[in-house]
Structure 1
Amino acid sequence: MMLVHGLGLSGRYFVPLARRLAASGASVVVPDLPGNARSRAAAHRAPDVGQLADALACLHQRLSLGPSVMVANSVGCQVAASLAARHPHLVSHLVLVGPALEPGISGWRQFVRLVADAPGEPLSLLPLAAFDYLVTGPLRCAASFQHSLRDAAESFEANLSQVRAPTLVVRGAGDTIASGTWIRRVAALVAAGRAQDIPGAAHAAHYSAPDAMAALIEKFTVGESG
C-alpha cells in the first residue's frame, strides 16, 4: 500500500493509519512528495499534479512494489487519480479520502472551507500540519495550490473517468472541504466506485479515525479481491 499526503504536508499524518495497516500484514510505503516538507529539496520548484504522479510512479517502480492499493487524502487524491490514469498497471485499488479540490469552486472558497474544517480535526494534527507547511514554505504551498486548482478545473474529472481500479471514496461526516455531493460524483466518475462516510471525523479522517479507516480499507480490498 502507498499512502499519498495532501498539499504542503508530509506523510507523517498518515502514520497512525500506516501502523494499523501494517499490523494486519500489509507492506506500507509513506513517501513525502517531491517539493514537500522533508522532500522539499527534491524539486527546485513546486511540481504540478502530473509531475507528482510521475514521480510516485518512478518511486513505485524503483521499489518493485507491483500493483498496489493507493490511499490518498485531499489534494493527494488528484495525484493518485493522475497516477491511476497515467500508470494503471501500478494501481490495484484506489482509496480517496476527502478528495479535493472540487471543480468550479474558487480558490478563496476552498481556503474558507479549509479554515472551517480546522476545529473539527484533532488538536494533535494542527501543530503537525503547521510545521509541515512551514518547512514546505508559503511560496511553495501557494504555487502548489495554483497547480492543484488548475488540475481541478482541467484534468481531475477526466483522470477519474479513466480510472479502472476499484475505488472507495471516503468522507469524514464533518468534512467542510469535500461535500457529500462531490464525493458521490467522484464515486460515479470512476469505473467501479463506491462512497462511504465515517461518523465523527472531518477532512483528515485517516488521522482522526485510523481504526475505522483501516477496517474500511481492509474490507474493501479483501472484498474486491474475493
Structure 2
Amino acid sequence: MEGWTRAGLFTRGFGPAPRAGGPNVVLVHGLGLSGRYFVPLARRLAARGASVLVPDLPGNVRSRSAARRAPEVVELAGALRRWHRELALGPSLLVGNSVGCQVVAALAAREPALVERLVLLGPALEPGAAGLRQCGRLVADAPREPPGLLAVAASDYLVTGPFRFAASFRHALRDAAESFEVHLARVVAPTLVVRGSGDTIASRDWTRRVAGIVGDGRTAEVNGAAHAAHYSRPGAMAALIEQFTAGECA
C-alpha cells in the first residue's frame, strides 16, 4: 500500500499503477471517515488484478486541510472529479459507501464519461427520514459491526472533528432531500446497489428504490454483514464486484 496526495486529496493505492483503460476502482468513504475502512476490500480487489485508489475526501482525516469548512455533497463530487482528471484514470468503477453513495451519484450524474460502473453500498440517508431517526439507525448498526471497524471509525471521527461532522451531516441530509434522487435518475452507468443483510441504516425497500431510479440498476445482499459489508465481508464484496464487472449480476 502506498499513500500520496494529488489534487489536495490524500490517496491510498493498491495493486498495479492506475492507467487509462483500467481496470481502475475508486472507493469512496462515508460521513466523517477516511479510506482506512476500505483497506480489506481494496486488498482483495488488488489481488484480483485491479488498480484500486482510496482517497480521503476534502475536510476528512488526512485530507482535512483540503477544505476550510465541511463541503457540500456536490462540492465533494467536484473535488473527486478534479482528482480523477488529474490522475487521468479514464472511465472507472466507483464504489461508494453510506453518504459516499451520494457523492459518487452526484459525480456520475454530472460527469458520466468518468464512470464505467457504479456500486452503491448501503446508501445511508432516505429522503423524508428525520435526522434523529437516521442517527438512531446508525446507533443501532454499531453493535452489528466488527470491533475493529468501530475503533477505526472512532479515530477518524475524532480527527475530522465533531463540528465538521455535524455540518457534513446537515449537508448530507439536505442533499438526500433535494438532490440525491435527481442525481440517481441521471446515472447512465450500470449500477449495483448492495446492502448487508443486517444493515439497520439502508433498508431492503430503500435499496430497491435506489436501484429502480437509475436507468440500469440491480440489487444484491451480503449475508452476515451490516452497514459496512466491505469491512466485515470483504471477500464476499470483492466477489460481488467481480461478478458485476463481468456482467453476471442479474
Please indicate the TM-score interval, normalised by the length of the shorter structure.
Answer: over 0.9
Map 1:82-121 to 2 at 5 A.
82-121=106-145
- For residues 94 and 88 of structure 1, the distance between their equivalents in structure 2, rounded to whole angstroms, comes to 11
Task: Report what 1:80 is aligned to.
Answer: 104
Residue 212, structure 1, aligned to residue 229, structure 2: no
Q: Comparing both structures, which one devotes a greater share of its residues to strand?
A: 2
Map 1:128-207 to 2 at 5 A.
128-207=152-231
Map 1:37-52 to 2 at 5 A.
37-52=61-76
Task: Report what 2:80 is aligned to.
Answer: 56
Task: Report what 2:51 is aligned to.
Answer: 27
Letter in 1 for 2:196: G
- Post-superposition Cα deviations, 1:27-67, rounded to whole Å, max 9, x if no partner, equal 11100000001111110000000000010000000000000
Task: Report what 2:41 is aligned to.
Answer: 17
Q: Which of 136, 141, 148 is residue 124 of structure 1 equivalent to?
A: 148
Q: Percent identity?
A: 71
In the alignment of these two chains, the number of paired residues is 224
Structure 1 counterpart SS, 2:51: coil
Letter in 2 for 1:186: V
Letter in 1 for 2:93: V
Letter in 1 for 2:157: Y
1:222, distance to aligned residue in structure 2 (A): 1.4
- For residues 135 and 124 of structure 2, the distance between their equivalents in structure 1, rounded to whole angstroms, comes to 11
Q: Which sections of structure 2, spanning at least 5 residues, go unmatched?
A: 1-24
1:100, distance to aligned residue in structure 2 (A): 1.5
Residue 70, structure 1, aligned to residue 132, structure 2: no
Q: Comparing both structures, which one devotes a greater share of its residues to helix?
A: 1
Letter in 2 for 1:55: A
Q: Which sections of structure 1, spanning at least 5 residues, go unmatched?
A: none
- For residues 49 and 192 of structure 1, the distance between their equivalents in structure 2, rounded to whole angstroms, comes to 23
- For residues 150 and 223 of structure 1, the distance between their equivalents in structure 2, rounded to whole angstroms, comes to 34
Q: CA RMSD in A?
A: 0.6
Letter in 2 for 1:44: R
Larger RCO (alpha carbons 8 Å, 6+ apart): 1
- Post-superposition Cα deviations, 1:193-226, rounded to whole Å, max 9, x if no partner, equal 00111110000011100000000001101127xx
Runs of 4+ in 1 over 2 A off after TM superposition: none
User: If the length of structure 1 is used for normalisation, what is the TM-score?
Assistant: 0.98
